[in-house]
Amino acid sequence: MSVGALTTYISTFKGNRFYPAEPRIDCIDIEDIAHGLAYQCRFNGQTAAFYSVAQHSIMVASVLPPALHKAALLHDGAEAYLGDIVKPLKHLLPGFAEIEAGVTRLIAQAFNVDFDTEYRAIKHADMVALATEKRDLMPNSTEGWSYLHGIDPLPEAIDPLPPAEAKAAFLAAWGRLG
């Protein structure tokens, strides 16, 4: 059996070809982002129930003022194309971090978002969501996570959505942005 040429692109839900090493702005599509995030489980699937990156992004947006909702919805947008790599593994793969940063910059350009200016507020909202997710979705993870020290989870419990519903909710939130 012979092996064909290496495929250097990722086929997306909408049929786009996304080249991680050489991403192009014309391959960035909000439905591909919504779909990719909705069908990826947070925490490498090590949760009590399926919980998508799309639903996480919606939660992050819910903590912020409306002016930051677009950036919040897209803050993990690169994961739609590259996967949700868990934090400990990301630290071991510095080349991946460079690729992810490039894709994030391209998403910011495609949707006219400035992640740098809005970073602090989005990062805090991301930590609030993380604290809530740890509490509600990881009942056997009883150790403290040092980066969550001083971060209070949201009072309401997470009701995990199936992927199709998470995608629809993400696109609805995007649609409300005008």
Please check whether residue 146 lies inside any domain of the structure: yes
Tens digits of per-residue pLDDT, 99-140? 999 999 999 999 999 988 888 999 999 999 999 999 999 988
Assigned domain for 2 exists: no
Whether the Cβ atoms of residue 137 and residue 42 lie closer than 8 Å to each other: yes
As for how many domains the chain has, the answer is 1
Rounded Cα distance, 39 and 35, in Å: 6
Q: Tell me the backbone φ, ψ of residue 51, rounded to 5 degrees.
A: -145, 115
Whole-angstrom distance, CA of residue 85 vs CA of residue 87? 6
Length of the chain as a residue count: 178
Report the CATH number at residue 96.
1.10.3210.10
Predicted model pTM:
0.92
Q: Which pLDDT value is given to residue 3?
A: 57
Range of the domain at 71: 10-175
Does residue 85 lie within any of the structural domains?
yes
User: Do the domain assignments include residue 95?
Assistant: yes
What pLDDT score was predicted for residue 5? Answer: 67
Instruction: Give me the pLDDT at residue 120, please.
Output: 93
